[in-house]
Amino acid sequence: MLINCVAYQDGKKVVDIATKDISDYVNRPECFVWVALSDPAPEELVKMQEEFGLHALAVEDAHHGHQRPKIEEYGDSLFCVLHSVQNKGEELNVGEVAIFVGPNYVLSVRSHTEQGFASVRARCEREPHLLKHGSGFVLYALMDTVVDRYFPVVDALEDELERIEERIFEGNAPRGNIEALYTNKRKLTVLKHAVEPLLEATGKLHGGRVPKVCADTQDYFRDVYDHLVRINQSIDALRDLVITAISVNLSLITLHENETTKRLAAYAALLMVPTLIAGIYGMNFQHMPELKWTFGYPFSLVAMVGIDLYLYIRFRKTGWL
């Protein structure tokens, strides 16, 4: 679906145009066309390929999707793939944004994501002195927005981990805590797969030999790179915390099981003494000490209670009961 098709010149919006008129504006000096598509049909991509002269391999990647975040050069044009990640209920919704950038055009294609880029277009149009840099600045603005949307996801995962840690030390639902920790770890892995490849790719857009369309915006891409470094470090730190929390949770479960085992052993010892004494007197030999003694029965009961009471006090002092 076509969202926008706009021509810009000298950093200012010229006019909204029809797709059939794209080639007329692309060939004008100091002019570029910015087209936005959402979940396009194959014929729409073919039309854009004809208008902008897009490379067939890049168009194929954009059509099939499920690409790893990357930035590829095709002559004087770039093809970028970004993953958009957003919280959606208890899960993460992962979409894909493909961006074709040439000297006189920008084509953004978003798939499986509800987050649009209307705010990016408005931002660029409010800053004509920056939009004068052309398609390279638009690429920066799109990448910057996608990357900045990772920060709330990281913050939400951090808050979720803190809540799980509180539940761990409350001693409630250890199995549920393990499941929640693994869910959190899986979400971090999804975010890691979006950030880490893009971190490597963005490094090619500043410093050293950079693509021609990004020559005037290297400092801006360095800012995007710095944001990605921060996010990547936060993800690594959170993953380490998740692993530590899992170990702590398992250790607490083991300690609880040990405490239970000790209690069962202590109660078994308390029952063993009267059982032993009753077992001896239950052998029914005719010649047994105290068998015909008047006070033999109460003496046995007192011995059972006395020994059990002594053991109970000792177990309480050692923390077994």
Instruction: Say yes or no: 2 and 140 in one domain.
Output: yes
CA distances from 285 to 217, 279, 281, 291, 295 (A): 103, 12, 9, 9, 18
Contact in structure between 96 and 66 (CB atoms under 8 Å): yes
Pairing of strands 105-111, 31-38: parallel
Q: Residue 304 has what pLDDT?
A: 76
Residue 258 pLDDT exceeds 70: yes
Residue 287 lies inside a defined structural domain of this protein = yes
Residue 208 lies inside a defined structural domain of this protein = no
Q: Residue 35 has what pLDDT?
A: 93
Residue 18 lies inside a defined structural domain of this protein = yes
Q: Which of 283 and 100 is assigned the larger pLDDT?
A: 100
With b for 16 or more beta-carbon neighbours within 10 A and e for fewer, the 234-259 pattern comes to bbeebbebbeebbeebeeebeeeeee
Q: What is the pLDDT of residues 149-171, one digit of tens each?
A: 999 999 999 999 998 888 887 76
Residue 253 lies inside a defined structural domain of this protein = no
Integer Cα distance of 288 and 276 in angstroms: 15
The candidate with the shortest Cα–Cα distance to 202, out of 229, 167, 231, 239, is 229
Q: Which two tokens stand for residue 37?
A: 């598509």
Residue 160 lies inside a defined structural domain of this protein = no
Mean pLDDT of 239-261: 82
* The most confident of 5-19, 76-90, 229-243, by mean pLDDT: 229-243
Query: Cα 316–317–321 angle (5° rounding)?
Result: 25
- At 20, the pLDDT band (50, 70, 90 cuts) reads confident
Which residues have CB under 8 Å from 154's CB, separation 6+?
191, 231, 234, 235, 238
Q: Residue 29 has what pLDDT?
A: 79
Instruction: Provide the domain limits for residue 63.
Output: 1-148
Q: Which of 242 and 285 is assigned the larger pLDDT?
A: 242
Mean pLDDT of 191-209: 87
Q: Helix and strand tally (H, E) in the chain?
A: 10, 7
Question: How many C-alpha atoms does 45 have within 13 Å on its Cβ side?
Answer: 23
Number of residues assigned to the chain: 321
Contact in structure between 5 and 16 (CB atoms under 8 Å): yes
CATH of the domain at 144: 3.30.460.20
Q: Evaluate the CA torsion angle 257, 260, 261, 262 in order and state its sign.
A: positive
Residue 289 lies inside a defined structural domain of this protein = yes
Q: Which two tokens stand for residue 99?
A: 């961006």
Any idea which of 3-17, 195-209, 237-251, 300-314 has the lowest mean pLDDT?
300-314
Residue 168 lies inside a defined structural domain of this protein = no
Continuous segment of H or E residues that includes residue 203: none
Of 148, 180, 197, the residue that ends a domain is 148
Residue 285 pLDDT exceeds 60: no
| Residue 146, helix vs strand vs coil | helix
Contact in structure between 5 and 22 (CB atoms under 8 Å): yes
CA distances from 90 to 54, 86, 143, 157, 183 (A): 38, 11, 26, 11, 9
Of 125, 148, 171, the residue that ends a domain is 148
Full-prediction pTM beyond 0.95?
Answer: no
Residue 39 lies inside a defined structural domain of this protein = yes
Q: Residue 201 has what pLDDT?
A: 87
Residue 1 pLDDT exceeds 60: yes
Integer Cα distance of 113 and 244 in angstroms: 33
Q: Residue 190 has what pLDDT?
A: 93
Of 89, 115, 148, the residue that ends a domain is 148
The structural domain count of the chain equals: 2
Instruction: Specify whether the backbone of 158 is left (phi greater than 0), alpha (psi in -120 to 50) or beta.
Output: alpha
Which residues have CB under 8 Å from 252's CB, separation 6+?
168, 169, 171, 174
